[in-house]
Amino acid sequence: MLRDAVRSLAEAKIAPYAAAVDEEARFPQEALAALLGGDLHAVHVPEEYGGAGADALATVIVIEEVARVCASSSLIPAVNKLGSLPVILSGSEALKKKYMTPLAKGEGMFSYCLSEPDAGSDAAGMKTRAVRDGDTYVLNGVKRWITNAGESEYYTVMAVTDPAKRSKGISAFVVEKSDEGVSFGAPEKKLGIKGSPTREVYLDDVRIPADRMIGEEGTGFATAMQTLDHTRITIAAQALGIAQGALDYAKGYVRERKQFGKPIADFQGVQFMLADMAMKIEAARQLTYAAAAKSERGDADLTFQGAAAKCFASDVAMEVTTDAVQLLGGYGYTRDYPVERMMRDAKITQIYEGTNQVQRIVMARNLP
């Protein structure tokens, strides 16, 4: 029922704008309005804060179905989870009430500020500082590659509180867009997901109350890594949706396109390509859904399974979308058809929330 509801909404209210959102590199306001209207913008927020209380699998299905028609739009529910999960996992009850309630109501989105110009895969090498001053902290630094920056009201920011302790000297904070000293860079000019703005976030003497710290001082990096164990599965879901959208389009195309007097779907070479695409998508789906169940239960092997789902599903998405372009031939290479957009959008799923090379390191360190 959930899948049917999200698919109907996505096809009616998000899909018609997907090409324009990509072409104009603009935030998908229509998708945001549709998701807010269906209470699908942040389904993971627990019911006690006014949220839908969706479990990890339901959240995955929402993201998958939105990504099937528009990858940029699927980053609304995905990044709302990424940005707010540190508060849910480690925040005080007061902090959860203060920020989860408006998120659930759709009064503001949440973004996640971990990466910096010199701290990507080596996130513990960050330089953003948070210095205690009485009952406040003063933050200074630059965060890079921040999804939905400028659109979101709330930002989970990782900052160094004790430089001598490296990863154990990093703390997490909630910063608000309206806080004095918060500003944003120009949107990055990206290959794909062009409807989801990616900007730098500048923190210049941003003074915030000490009670906006998420968890204890020095626990921020552990919270950040724990968050990624859960949210990598949402990237797997996004990759899955992109791949499914590409297969669905290619399937319809090959049945209509005639060469040598018959539909190209009748040729065994084309059939084998479609069969491989469908088989790999289904394998990715099973891995992703199993990982979502582990996320919900908090299983001991979640770190491995989350990394495996993200890595496998994103590699499948890149392969499937490339094959979809191939199946459409010259038409696949034009912006008149959606598969070239899907191919461009798929690439980022192999890179963000940890490159697939980093995922393999994570898996190797956590072999079950």
The β-bridge partners of 206 are 139
CA distance 43 to 51: 6
What's the whole-number mean pLDDT along residues 59-84? 98
Chain position carrying tokens 């659930």: 104
CA distance 7 to 353: 26
Q: Contact, 292 vs 231, CB < 8 A?
A: no
What pLDDT sits at residue 92? 97
pLDDT tens per residue, range 182-216: 999 999 999 999 999 999 999 999 999 999 999 99
pLDDT tens per residue, range 24-43: 999 999 999 999 999 999 99
How does DSSP assign 86-148, residue by residue? HHHHH--HHHHHHHHHHHHHTS--EEEE--BTTBSS-GGG---EEEEETTEEEEEEEEEEEET
pLDDT tens per residue, range 96-114: 999 999 999 999 999 999 9
Evaluated on CA atoms 307, 313, 315, 317, the torsion sign reads: negative
pLDDT confidence band for 279 (50 / 70 / 90): very high
CA distance 352 to 62: 20
CA distance 227 to 87: 10
Catalytic residue among 116, 200, 340, 353: 353
Q: How far is CA 366 from CA 203, 229, 308, 332, in A?
A: 35, 12, 11, 40
Phi-psi region of 126 (alpha: psi -120 to 50; beta: other; left: phi over 0): beta
pLDDT tens per residue, range 289-324: 999 999 999 999 999 999 999 999 999 999 999 999
CA dihedral 268, 271, 277, 282 (to 10 degrees): -120
What's the whole-number mean pLDDT along residues 243-260? 98
- pLDDT at 368 > cutoff 90: no
Total residue length of the chain? 368
CA distance 131 to 139: 7
- Please choose, from the candidates 242, 367, 262, 267, the residue with its C-alpha nearest in 3D space to the C-alpha of residue 317: 242
What pLDDT sits at residue 175? 98
What pLDDT sits at residue 299? 97
CA distance 354 to 215: 23
pLDDT confidence band for 16 (50 / 70 / 90): very high
Angle, in degrees to the nearest 10, between helices 268-297 and 302-327: 160
Contacts of 107 (CB under 8 A, 6+ apart): 153
Contacts of 249 (CB under 8 A, 6+ apart): 324, 337, 338, 339, 342
CA distance 175 to 112: 10
What's the whole-number mean pLDDT along residues 135-141? 98
Residue 132: phi, psi to the nearest 5?
A: -70, 135
CA distance 73 to 63: 9
Q: How far is CA 71 from CA 28, 78, 340, in A?
A: 10, 10, 13
What's the whole-number mean pLDDT along residues 141-164? 98
> Average pLDDT of the chain?
98
- pLDDT at 360 > cutoff 90: yes
Whether 353 is catalytic is yes
Q: Contact, 90 vs 135, CB < 8 A?
A: no
Q: pTM of the prediction?
A: 0.98
